[in-house]
Structure 1
Amino acid sequence: MQEKPGPQYPYGGYPYPPPAPSWFLPVPRRARYDHLARTPATRPWQAIVGTLVVAAGFLLIGVIVVTMFVLGAAVLGLPSPIHPSGLPKGTPAGLAMSLLSIAPVLLLVFGTAALIQRRRPGTLSSVAGRLRWTWLLTCAVVGLLAMILGQVAQYFALTSAGLDTEMFGWAGWDAFLPLLVVIVLLVPFQAAAEEYVFRGWFVQAVGAHVRNPIWSILIGSALFASLHGYSWAGLLDVFMFGAVMAWLSVRTGGLEAAIALHVLNNVIAFGTSAAAGTLDDALNQGKVPVPWQALAGTVVQLGVYAFGVMYLAKKRSISTISQ
């Protein structure tokens, strides 16, 4: 008895068309955070071109935002958000302009990773391919403790040197509340954008071709510090912060620890300056020199934070490699 022929499918023996190939390349398995861009298709030109795109976009976004704010104020008959020197004023508009000139870079970094390196933007966040929110909030709690201990250490260091230790003042609710709204709404995006550029994109772009993360940590931290206008002690403070945050990103498998402390630092720094009515000085980084004795607070804060984060990461079995 002759068998009946089976159904004839048009797609190579399957009833449905095969799925279209994904644009995104597979995530490297069991890879450290700084090696997540290390795929078989990785080429040196991608890191170079991508870094140039991010740098040029960073500058261009800043120019566009500042121009829009200045022209908008002129059209609406409002005070200019910048001083004649070109520095932002310590007003809600000036602060918003300063923060918005950086925050959109977050989208630029995601797009650069997706289009040039053909990898999922989530790999910039962590080895899990996403931001681990519970871990980020845990790091924020450790960050609050570390900042308190750092401020105490800074107070005693400045006092012993006979320097001014007054850190708080009050400008009144009318002046403070509008600034507080801007700080709460925009600082998290501004701080996160800087982390995704320097501890995310740069560390992984270099890590795609270099096994040891020390070079991306040191060079990226130097570039991060170079964008600030502080005195030498302030620049050393920023460099130390960048280096520890990059090290923690590699050791914990993601940007959560870096973002948490960066957001806290900026919210409290801008918040206390806004409350005291000294936001102009905070935005003019070179106006008030940072005494070298204040570095004692930085050392304590970063030391406590790094120890606490690493202890909890081990205790909670936070993944440090991709699956």
Structure 2
Amino acid sequence: MRTNQFACAELPEGESYHRLGRTSRFRWWSTPLTLAVLAVLVFFLWMAIILSVTIVAIIGGSGLAPDSVTLSTIAEMAFGLLTSALFIPIVLFLVRVVQWRRVGSLLSVEGRLRWGWLARCTVVAIVPVALCAAAFLPLAKLLQPGLVPSEASGGTEVFAAAMTVIVLLVPFQSAAEELTMRGLLMQMVGAVGARSGERGGASAVSRVLRSPGPAILASGTLFAALYLAAHPDKVWTTAALSVMGLGAAWLTWRTGGLEAAIGLHVVNSLVQFTLCVFEGRMEQIGTGLVVGSGLPLGAGSPLVLLLTLAQVGLYTLMVAWLAGRRGVRRRSADGAFGRTP
């Protein structure tokens, strides 16, 4: 049977999620090339953001009328969420063009997004998120009363406009972060170790590199490390980000796809953004990277670490149990390697 040497690489056979980047077309330079192209694309994205903000500032003038401040805040929130969401096409481009493999390999071991499993994970996420949200007020009043907002503001029209932006954009912003951190990064790290049948694959270094540990650790802690570098005084938030990231990374490996991580991220971010709007704290949202990172309430305090541990622990147990019960695939199918379209 004729094969097309220019066709995209198929899923490697019998591999865990973190190893799906080690396709038949993987070469030693694939990872540094991916990082280089990513840096270039992010640079141009950043330049486009600066140019857009500058143009808006020039058109709108240097000041804002009092009644336009809220509208400006909503626009900034939408712009920040949209900017984060633009990482979706960037990551898909890197996988499809630079790494020359199917984009479905970034989604799950089945080579596609498992919509039914995503829906179940999203429903399951409501339970721990709701419990943590319900526990926030009494715990905050007990441990750190200053965390509880004193009054709500904004009005019905402002709330409706902000919620429209949130409902439309937060799912894409959350998915973009998971595609980047738990998807692309995890598979780049997981692809480094040689297979057992390849040259050097029997070495101890290769065995460690192709194990899930390094991929989970890297994809689960990189964002927290970058946040700590920029905010060295935010120790509690950094610790909570590490717990959330490691939990999402482990679930991605355990369930063979991004659905569990995306489900928790979307539900938690929707709750966080909604409360920020309801309580008149939209200025805290910024680009959505921290508020929309999937953390429970109480950022910047020991409470956020406590709630994150409880939330991630409960969600992990529930999803792992459900995945085992439903027989969710953890590895790609045997015989998948080397197939052509």
TM range (shorter): 0.7 to 0.9
> Root-mean-square deviation (CA), in Å?
2.7
Determine if contact 2:189/2:218 at 8 Å carries over to the other structure.
no
Cα separation, 1, equivalents of 2:80 and 2:6: 38
CA contact (8 A) 1:170 1:277 kept: yes
Partner of 2:186 in structure 1? 203
After TM superposition, list the pairs within 5 Å mapping 1:88-99 onto structure 2: 91-99=73-81
One of 243, 248, 260 as aligned partner of 2:263: 260
Q: Aligned ranges for residues 178-197 of structure 1 at < 5 Å?
A: 178-197=161-180
Specify the alignment match of 1:212 in structure 2.
Answer: 211
Equivalent position to 1:119, from 83, 101, 106:
101
Cα distance between partner residues in 1 of 2:235 and 2:53: 31
Q: CA deviation at 1:57?
A: 2.2
Aligned-residue offset at 1:94 = 0.2
Question: Which residue of 9, 13, 26 corresponds with 1:25?
Answer: 9
Q: Quote the offset at 1:220 in angstroms.
A: 2.4
Instruction: Report Cα offsets for 1:62-120 as digits up to 9, x if no partner.
Output: 3313422441353366968xxxxxxxx97221011111221111111111111222110
Could you tell me whether the CA contact under 8 Å between 1:27 and 1:39 is conserved in 2?
yes
Residue 184 of structure 2 aligns with an amino acid whose one-letter code is W
Answer whether contact 1:51 1:202 (CA < 8 A) is retained: no
- State the match for 2:30 in structure 1: 46
Unaligned runs of at least 5 residues, structure 1: 1-13, 81-88
- Mapped pair 1:307 → 2:289: no
Unaligned residue ranges in structure 2 (runs of 5+): 65-70, 193-208, 292-297, 334-341
Aligned counterpart for 2:250 among listed residues 247, 250, 256: 247
The corresponding residue for 1:282 is: 285
Change (3 A) 1:142 1:57: same
Distance 1:35 1:164 in 2: 46
Matches of 1:264 and 1:55 in 2, distance apart?
30
> Which amino acid in the other structure matches residue 233 of structure 1?
W
Matched residue, 2:91? 109
Matched, 1:137 2:147: no
Partner in structure 2 of residue 296 of structure 1: 306
Displacement of 1:275 in angstroms is 1.5
Could you give the per-residue CA deviations for residues 135-174 of structure 1, whole angstroms, max 9, x where no partner exists? 0110011111011122344444434325346368342112
- Residue number among 289, 309, 329 corresponding to 1:319 in the alignment: 329
Q: Say which one has the larger Rg.
A: 1
Cα distance between partner residues in 1 of 2:61 and 2:274: 28
Retained in 1: the 8 A contact 2:95–2:101?
Answer: yes
- Secondary structure at 1:283 match in 2: coil
Say yes or no: does 1:169 pair with 2:152: yes
Instruction: Note if contact 2:141-2:148 (Cα within 8 Å) is conserved in structure 1.
Output: no
Give the Cα separation in 1 of the matches to 2:5 and 2:32.
27
1:74 aligns with 2:58: yes
Equivalenced residue count is 299
Percent identical residues: 32
For 2:273, what is the secondary structure of its paired residue?
A: helix
Structure 1 CA distance for aligned equivalents of residues 170 and 182 of structure 2: 17
Deviations 1:43-69 (A, max 9, x none): 221112212322442343233134224
Q: How many angstroms apart in 2 are the aligned matches of 1:219 and 1:234? A: 18
Distance 1:67 1:253 in 2: 40
